[in-house]
Amino acid sequence: MPSVPNQRPSTARAMTRSRVAIVNAVLFLLTCFGGSFPAAADIAVTRADCDRLVKHQPAPGVEYQPGVDVHGRPVAPADIGGGYQIKPPETIIIPIEILIQDRFNIPTNSVLWNAKAQVGVVTVKGDQVFYEGQLLGDPEIAALEQLCREQLPAK
């Protein structure tokens, strides 16, 4: 008996055709009206965002002052012996080294036993960290922080 061709397209074919028609319609609309869409989105930075980015700087006169209470009256120092007057260095240099004997299993009787290889140098200056002289951090965040300092008044 000869096979009779199906008169109705299958459900899967009908769905595929409707999807293709929808995609074509969307592409047509995008082609026609594509120029009316913004090329780049504007980004809004709120005051709360700036407050998180900008480092806190206390108002003048609110820093701790030894020997004075909150009302400006003199008080006895808390450290009876005078305390320690250690001033940390302005620049801290941290060499990053690898002990070669650990890395390559060099025996203790070898002339290379105490060999070291310097990988790099980390330098800390204030609140900035450098590796081999290159500032570590995100330049975009630094730019936003600078913009926040310039545009928004202090609280």
- Checking if the pLDDT of 72 tops 70, the result is yes
pTM: 0.44
* Residue 18 in domain: no
* Residue 56 in domain: no
Specify the 3-state DSSP secondary structure of 129. strand
Mean pLDDT of the chain: 76
> For the segment 81-97, what is each residue's pLDDT rounded down to a tens digit?
666 778 889 999 999 88
* Residue 52 in domain: no
* Overall average pLDDT of the 67-80 stretch: 80
* Residue 39 in domain: no
* Residue 146 in domain: yes
Higher pLDDT, 122 or 29: 122
* Residue 150 in domain: yes
Res 56: pLDDT: 73
- Checking if the pLDDT of 68 tops 90, the result is no
Which residues constitute the domain of residue 155?
86-155
* Residue 37 in domain: no
* Residue 41 in domain: no
